[in-house]
A and B are shown apart, each in its own frame.
Chain A
C-alpha cells in the first residue's frame, strides 16, 4: 500500500494506492498518517480510494480509527471514490449513516467548502 498526501483548499487529501489488508506489514498506517496531520493542525481530511484494489476489515478499521480521531478534535473526515463493494459493506454495516462518502474528489472538496461557509 502507498499513501500520498496533498493539500487542496486546506483539505488534506490522502491518495491511497494498492491493497489495505491485515496480512501486510506497513511502516506507517493510514491512521497514523491522519493523526500526524491532525496533530499539525489540519482538521479536514479526505481519503481518496480511487486506486485501492482491495480493502479488508483491517482497512475499514483504519478508516474508522481515522474518523474517530478527526471527529474528536472537531474535524471532518470524508471518503471519495470507494469501490462498489466497499460501499455495499458500509451500507450493510450502517457506516454510510456515519461516514460521508462521495463519488468524486471534486464533490467531496466542495462539501468541505460549503460547510466551512456555513
Chain B
C-alpha cells in the first residue's frame, strides 16, 4: 500500500499527520501483539492455578507477586538507564518468549510449583511489556504528538487483549495445553515488528535514536521514595486520596480471590479456561464502552462526590450478593464491576481530583500512589487474606427449625463443593470456602464503609482546595490578571499578528518563539494563518496552515522544538554566520531610511537567539538607545534572553520612558534577585530621577524576596517622603507575594507612626484650629486606634499634635 493511500485510510480513524502512517501502524500492531499473548497467558494462569493449587493458595501468589514486582521495577529502572533501548526491549522479549515456551513444556509435566511460578511470571510479563511500550512511545513522540495518537495505540492494545482472550475461549476445548505456544508465536512476531520500529526510528530521527533518554529516567529516579512520601504526608488531601486508593486496592485483591474461589467451587474444571477466555474478553470491552458513553456524563451530571461514591457502593452490593449467594453470576458481577469501574469512572475521577494540585506535587504524588502504594496495598490485601484463610471456621450451625429424615439431599455431585449435609440432629454444615467468602465480604464491608467516609471527606476537601486556590487568586487583582491571563503569551500572539504585515523575518521569529514555548496550538495557528497576498513568508503561511500537502510532513518534523532550537543555535554559532551577519548588521546600523527601523528590529530580535559570547551582541549598545521604541523593545527582550548584566543600566534608564517602561520592567525582572544590589543603588540615590526610583521600587516589590524587602525598608527609613508611597506599595506587594518574608516589626511600627504623623500634620494644616482640643484629641484617637498597638501609643501620638511645635 502506498504511503499516501495508507495515510488517507488511517486519517479516517485517527488524527494522523503525513509521515506518521507507518510508525503509528507499527506501534498499533506491536501493542496488539504484546497484549494478545496476555489474553492467553492470563486465563491459562488462572486455570492452572485453580486446578493444581486451588484458590486457598491465591493469597500467597498475590503476596509473592507484590514482592517480586518491587524487585523487578527497581531492577528494570536501573537497566533502562544503562543499556540502549533496542537492546533492553529486544532482550526482554526474548526472555519472555523463552520462558513462556519453557512454561508451556513444564505445564505438560504437571509440576506443582509451576502454577505459582507462572502466576508471578505472568504479572511480571504484563508490567514489563507495558512499561517498555510506553517508554518507546516517549522516545519516538513528543508529548503533543503522543497525546494525539494515544487513543489509536490504546485501541490496538484493547483489540489485542480481546483477540487473545477470545482465541483462548475458542481453542480452550481443542488445544488447551498448547495455548502458551501460540502466545510464544505472537511474541516472536512482535519482535519483528519491534525491530521494524527501531529501523524506522534510526532512519527518521537518528538523534533521538542515539539519545538514550537517560535524563528522563534519571530525573524520575532522582525523585526518590522519601520525597514522594513526604509530599503525600504533608497534605491532608493527598493522604485522603492515598487512603482511598489503598482501600480500593485491598478490596480489589479480595474480589480477585472471591471470584476465583467461586469459579473453583461452582464450575466444572473443564470449563475454567473457556470461561476465563470469554469473560475476560468481555471485561475489556465493558470499561471501553463505559468510558465512551457514561463516564463523562455521570461526572458532569452528578458531580465529583457521587462519582466518587458510585464505585464503592456498587462493590458493597456485590459483596453482599456474593456473601449470601456465592454463585458464578455474582462472582462475575462483582469482578466485572470492579474492573470496569476502576478502569473507567474511577480513573477519570482520580485525574479530576488531581486538578487543584500543582503539577510538581501531582507528579510526586502519582509516583507514590502508582508505583509504591499499588504494590504495597496489594501485598497488604494478600497478607490479610492469608490470615483470614488460616482462621478456624465454624462449619456447623445449630438448627433453627427441626428437620425430618425425609428431607431430600440436593444432588450436587457435579460440582466440587461438599454437599450440604442434613445432620440427624438437624444441624447444617456449610462449606468452608463459603464461610471464608463471607469473612472476606464482612471485612470488605467494613473497609468499604471506611472508603465511603474517606471519599466524602475527599469531595469536601476537593471543594475547599479549589476554593482556597480561587481565594488566593482574588486576594490581589494584579495577581489575578497575570495568573489567569498569561499576558506574555497574549503579547506574543499579538506581536505575531502585527509582524505578519511588517516583516517576514520577525514573523518567523514569533512563530519560532511560539514553537519553543509549545504554544503553537491549533487555535493559535488558525488565528495567525489568515492568507495575506503581500505576505513574503509564503513558506511560513503554508507551514502553519493545516494543509493536506506534503509540506506539513517536513514542517511538522521540523516543528519539533528541540530540533529547531538546536539547529538555529548551531547555525548562529558558525564563524561564517558571524562573518556574514556581522557585515549585514553594520549595514543596517548605518542606514537611516524607512526600512531601517524594521531591519533594526530584526537585528535586535535575532541577537536574543544568539549565544551570549557572540561578538554580534555588541550591537545591543546602540539598539538599546535607538529612537524607535519597537527597536528598543526587541533589544531589551534580547538582553533578557541573553541575561547580560552589562546592559542593566540601559534597561534601568529605559524605565523613565513610559512607552517602553513595561518592557524594561519585564526585562529587568527576568534577571531576578541577581540585580537587587544594582537596583538598591538606584533607589538609594536621591540624585536619580524620581520616576526611575519609583519604578525600581515597584520592580523590587515584584522580585518579592527577603533581600528586596530589607533594602526597601532601609530606604523607607531614610526616605524623605519623595518615593514613600512606592516603597510602601512595594513592601505590601512583597508581603502578599511571599508570606515567608520577615519584616522588622519595630521598623514597620515606627514608619507607620511617622506616616500617621505626616498625614495629621497635613490634616491640621487644612482644618480649622478653632476646634476644641478635646474634640481634636478624640478625633485623632478614633482614627488611629486601629493602627496603634496600645493606648499609650495612641495617646502619645494624639498628644504630640497638641504641642504647638508639631502643629506649626
CA distance A92 to B503 in the complex (A): 11
Select the residue from A57, A60, A88, A95 with max chain B CB neighbours within 10 A.
A88
Q: Is A89 touching B603 in the complex (CB atoms < 8 A)?
A: no
In terms of DSSP, what is the predominant structure of the interface of chain A?
Answer: helix
A57 to B574: give the CA distance in the assembly, Å: 8
Which A residues, 59 to 88, have Cβ-Cβ distances below 8 Å to chain B?
60-61, 64-65, 67-68, 83-85, 87-88
Among A84, A89, A92, A98, the most chain B Cβ lie within 10 Å of the Cβ of A92
In the bound complex, residues from chain B placing their C-beta under 8 Å from that of A67 are 576, 580
Which residues in A have their C-beta under 8 angstroms from that of B564? 89
A10 within 8 A of B: no
Q: Is A9 an interface residue (CB 8 A)?
A: no
Q: How far is the CA of A67 from the CA of B507 in the complex (A)?
A: 25
Instruction: Say whether B508 contacts A91, CB under 8 Å.
Output: yes
* Cross-chain contact A93 with B606 (CB below 8 angstroms): yes
**CB-CB < 8 A to A91: which residues of B?**
504-505, 507-509, 537, 539-540
CA distance A36 to B515 in the complex (A): 40
Interface residues of B, count at CB 8 A: 36
Q: Is B136 an interface residue (CB 8 A)?
A: no
Contact with B along A33-72 (1 / 0, CB 8 A): 0000000000000000000000011001100110110000
- 1/0 contact trace for B767-808 toward A, CB 8 Å? 000000000000000000000000000000000000000000
A32 interfacial contact with B, CB 8 Å: no
Q: Which of B508, B540, B557, B571 has the most chain A CB atoms inside 10 A of its CB? A: B571
- Interface size in chain A (residues, C-beta < 8 A): 22
- Mark out the residues of chain B between 61 and 91 whose CB falls within 8 Å of any chain A CB in the assembled complex: none
Among A57, A64, A83, A97, which residue has its beta carbon within 8 angstroms of that of B567? A57
Q: Is B194 an interface residue (CB 8 A)?
A: no
A93-B579 in contact (CB<8A):
no
Please classify the interface of chain B as helix (H, G, I), strand (E, B), loop, or mixed, using the class held by over half of its residues: helix
Number of CB contacts from chain A to chain B under 8 A: 90
Q: Which residues on the A side are within 8 Å of B609 (C-beta)?
A: 92-93
1/0 per position for B551-583, CB-CB distance to A under 8 A? 100110110000010011011111011011100
| Docked CA distance A88–B564 (Å) | 10
Verify B539–A97 contact, CB threshold 8 A.
no
Closest to A85 in B: B558
What residues on B are CB-neighbors of A92 within 8 Å? 505, 508-509, 512, 568, 606, 609
**What's the nearest-Cβ distance from chain B to residue A72, in Å?**
10
A94 at the A/B interface (Cβ < 8 Å)? yes
Q: Is B123 at the interface (CB under 8 A from chain A)?
A: no
User: Does any Cβ of A come within 8 Å of B599's Cβ?
Assistant: yes
Known contacts A88-B540, A89-B567, A91-B537: A98-B574 contact under CB 8 Å = no
Cα(A83)–Cα(B555), bound, Å = 9
Q: Are A84 and B543 in contact (CB under 8 A)?
A: yes
State in angstroms the CA–CA spacing of A39 and B584 once bound together.
25
Contact pick for B555, options A68, A85, A93, A96, CB 8 Å? A85
- Given contacts A84-B542, A88-B540, whether A57 and B571 have CB atoms under 8 Å apart is yes
B559–chain A nearest beta-carbon distance, Å: 9
Contact B571 A89 (CB under 8 A): yes
A95 with B580, Cβ < 8 A, contacts A60-B574, A85-B558 known: yes
Task: Please name all residues of chain A whose beta carbon is closer than 8 Å to the beta carbon of B571 when the two chains form the complex.
Answer: 57, 60-61, 89, 93, 95
Known: A64-B576, A64-B580. A94 touches B567 (CB 8 A): no
- With an 8 A cutoff between CB atoms, is B602 at the interface? yes
**Closest partner residue, chain A, to B584 (CB atom):** A98
Give the distance to chain A from B553, nearest Cβ to Cβ, in Å: 10
Cβ contact within 8 Å between B574 and A64: yes
Sample (8) of A-B pairs whose CB atoms are under 8 Å apart: A56-B570, A84-B542, A85-B557, A87-B539, A91-B509, A91-B539, A93-B568, A94-B606
Q: Across chains A and B, which 8 residue pairs bring their CB atoms closest together, nearest first?
A: A91-B508, A57-B570, A64-B576, A85-B558, A87-B539, A84-B539, A61-B574, A57-B571
